Structure 1
Amino acid sequence: MQAKKGYAMVLVAALMWGSIGIFVKSLSALGLTSASIAALRLLMGAALLAPVLVVMSMRGVRTPAGEKHSAFSLFRATPGTLFACALVGILGLAFANLGYYISMGEVGMSTASVLLYTSPIFGVVFGRVLYGERVTGGKLLSVALNITGCLLAVTSGNFAGMQFSLLGVGAGVFAGLMGALLAVFSKIATEKMHPLAVTFYGFMFGGATMLAIARPWAEIAGAFGPEFILLLFGFGLIPTALAYIFYMSGLSLGLEASKVPVVASFETVATVLVGILMYGESSDLVKVAGICLVLLSIVAMNMDFARVRSSAAVRLWHESMAFNGRIWQQEKIADYNDFVNSGDWQTWVAPR
């Protein structure tokens, strides 16, 4: 039950991530580059989480009984845990974003989006190597459905516009790898620290890294104003602070690292729907089929196929598939002949 709750929380996070495009388009229109937007997003998320952690610390959340708590109790971290948080922020957030932006610049948004969602493949590999998670037929089917669904949802089946560049493809796959590592490092960090504290430190490390790369001082000065502040606040709150609160809290409930990237890929569906509903982007049967495949992959990844195979519905299905109309007809004819030849209908009816 805990695991189902955790996957539901990851799904909610993915739904919130689907709104990223709304903020990115608006901030880009104000003159900010993608790298600058990523840096500001993470740092604003950290700024919004800090007072929440202070209040929780003052209330004694996760403070052992009898131990005095302070306003900074939840911020305490061992060097090992802090290192895991740094990996979350630098690799799972900053480098994943950087790889994605490079890929978009080299091969275009559609191709980069598809490459980004190679992360379920890496998720299955890491889950097996690091945690000994079983690689089942259901997982492999789910990954195949997921990648196909993302491909169709993003491209609408039109592959003519997809581009190839060794750097662009490599950067896109690298972003997918970093996305899978985000789940791995977050799982490690949340075993020792509160999920919100892991999120805060991840935002700080990731934001500082992106800030050093982007150096957005001139861009911020040019865009600064009420609209910029409002957009930055919303960006830091909805698809950043709140989304990662759900994501990290879900991971802390003992989820399988191999399953998380598939569930998180619902972000693709949410992004496509936002584009259709808010920006009038085209929708067709191929795109709808892609969305359905992504949803089916999430269901398949969380389905217990052993229980399904032993269910009454599957047994009935097997029986129905084994039904032979000719044999049934012959049995009924023989039964009728027994009735005719018996001459005693009461004797024939009794066992029936």
Structure 2
Amino acid sequence: MNKNMGYAKKLFSGDIIGYFMIFGAGVLWGTIGLFVKTLSGIGASTQLISFMRLFMGFCILIPIMLFTGGVKIFKIDKSGLVQCLMLGILSQALFNYCYTMSIESVGVATGSILLYTAPVFVCIMSKIFFKEFISRIKIFALIINLAGCFLMVTGGDLSAFRISALGIFFGLAAAFLYSLVTIIGKSASGNVHPFTIVFYSFLFGWLTLGIISAPWQEVSGGFGFKFWIYAFGYGLIPTVGSYLLYMGGLRKNLEISKLPVIASVETVVATLIGVLVFNESLNFISVMGIVILLASIVIMNMKMKKSEIENQEGGN
């Protein structure tokens, strides 16, 4: 047991607990498709599903925060509130809108592949804002992570791959907005409790989505008990649970550029749920994609020798 822990410490740099929190967040995000498909089957629109995710998450957080920290945990300074406002509007509401528009323009497969460029944006911004060193190992891990995602989503079949200038724009915009969760979240996490960050980002997110999509009429149309149960689960598992883990992980001493690659385990979980729950097919190419993506997570977290870092820095 001690040998295994020692090996893990050698393999993973930084705070290992923080990296496992990010990994756990990715696992919970992987259940999104399960709830979306179930709610769609009940008759809810895409706009309503996006809205309910943030609204239910917001409602669920209130008793949790009151129980764990009392009223004082809701207090936040102006700087933190501005950061939460940016998270809520950009990385929650506008992200959902752009991703939906991308899928409508180019389909689920192409939209998903475009979204998986988010780690590239995070890597670039971590260099600019946090002065992180981008090693050859990180670049290699990013490349094979994208390759793994591509193989998993397409299964080697490019017939569902569609090109549209508008769809590509919205897809890349969604990836960029998604990447801001990590960048803005890291900036806010040093001064504000994770519960507080998530609470206010959800608040601004569902308010913005409410203005954009106006789901009130659809809700007033009436849904049964089953809808509210699944909406509650959607707000709890891949929303409150995942974001609390992710924001908690950001408070640790982690390399920001690594986090989206680690969280990309979401894709593996989503694929396995599709196979086990919805009887979706999984061919050899998709399995290879899973293996490659998991390998990219390991590679991204491998430590470089000091001499290798010095050589690379000297060559830049």
The reply to whether TM is greater than 0.5 is yes
Alignment of 1:10-21 (within 5 A): 10-21=22-33
Code of the residue aligned with 1:54 in structure 2: it is L
Equivalence map 1:13-162=2 (5 Å): 13-57=25-69, 71-162=70-161
User: What is aligned with 1:205?
Assistant: 204
Work out whether residues 49 and 241 of structure 1, in 8 Å CA contact, stay in contact via their aligned partners in 2: yes
The CA deviation at 1:125 is 0.3
Q: Does 1:232 align with 2:244?
A: no
8 Å Cα contact 2:54-2:202 kept in structure 1: yes
Q: Write the letter of the residue equivalent to 2:153.
A: V
What TM-score do the two structures reach when normalised by structure 2?
0.91
Find the aligned partners of 1:255 and 1:139 in 2 and give their Cα distance: 14
Contact 1:32 1:223 (C-alpha < 8 Å) held by counterparts: no
Partners of 2:173 and 2:82 in 1: CA distance: 21
The Cα offsets for residues 103-157 of structure 1, whole Å up to 9 and x where unpaired, read as 0000000100000000011011000000000010011001001100000000001
Q: 1:308, CA displacement in angstroms? A: 11
- What CA distance in whole angstroms lies between the structure 2 residues aligned with 1:188 and 1:216? 32
Match in the other structure for 2:313: none
Bigger shift: residues 173-182 or 28-37: 28-37
AA aligned to 2:285 is: V
Cα separation, 2, equivalents of 1:197 and 1:254: 20
Aligned to 1:322: none
For the aligned residues, what is the CA RMSD? 1.6
Change (3 A) 1:293 1:308: farther
The alpha carbon displacement at 1:205 in A equals 0.8
Q: Please list, as runs of the form range in 1=range in 2, the aligned pairs for 1:182-261 lying within 5 A after superposition.
A: 182-261=181-260
Q: Distance in 2 between matches of 1:172 and 1:106?
A: 9
> Given the two structures, how large is their TM-score scaled by the length of structure 1?
0.81
- Count of aligned pairs: 297
CA distance in 1, matches of 2:284, 2:214: 43
1:276-311 CA distance string (max 9 Å, x none): 1111111111001101111111111111032798xx
Q: Is the 8 A contact 1:35 1:213 kept in 2?
A: no
1:232-277 Cα offsets, whole Å, 9 max, x none, are 1111111111111111111111322211111111111111111011
Equivalent residues of 2:23, 2:263 under 8 A apart: yes
Match of 1:325 in 2: none
Partner SS for 2:295: helix
Q: 1:6, 1:255 within 8 Å by CA — same for their partners in 2? A: yes
- Alpha carbons of structure 1 residues 223 and 293: separation in structure 2 relative to 1, 3 Å: farther
> Matched residues in 2 for 1:91 and 1:218: separation?
25
Q: Which moved more, 1:156-165 or 1:136-145?
A: 156-165
- What is the CA–CA distance in structure 2 between the aligned matches of 1:43 and 1:136, rounded to whole Å? 40
**In 1, distance between residues paired with 2:239 and 2:295?**
26
Q: 1:5 to 1:219 in 2, by over 3 A?
A: same
CA distance in 1, matches of 2:279, 2:143: 29
Question: Which residue of the other structure, out of 6, 20, 26, is the alignment partner of 1:8?
Answer: 20
Tell me the distance in 1 between the aligned counterparts of 2:231 and 2:248: 24
Counterpart residue identity of residue 112, structure 2 = S
1:283 aligns with: 282
Aligned 8 A contact 2:76 2:196 in 1: no
User: In structure 2, how many angstroms separate the alpha carbons of the residues matched to 1:41 and 1:104?
Assistant: 18
Residue 275 of structure 1 aligns with an amino acid whose one-letter code is: G
Residues in 1 aligned to 2:79 and 2:195: alpha-carbon distance in whole angstroms: 17
Residue 226 of structure 2 aligns to which amino acid in structure 1?
A: E
8 Å Cα contact 1:120/1:143 also seen in 2 = yes
Paired letter, 2:56: M
CA distance in 1, matches of 2:270, 2:219: 26
Structure 1 residues 73 and 274, CA gap change in structure 2 (3 angstroms): same
Does the Cα contact within 8 Å between 1:35 and 1:214 map onto a contact in 2? yes
Which protein has greater RCO, CA pairs closer than 8 Å, 6+ apart?
2
C-alpha separation in 1, matches of 2:128 and 2:242? 28
What is the DSSP-based 3-state SS (H/G/I as helix, E as strand, rest coil) of the residue aligned with 1:255? Answer: coil
Amino acid of the residue matched to residue 22 of structure 1? Answer: L
**Alpha-carbon separation, structure 2, partners of 1:277 and 1:296:** 23
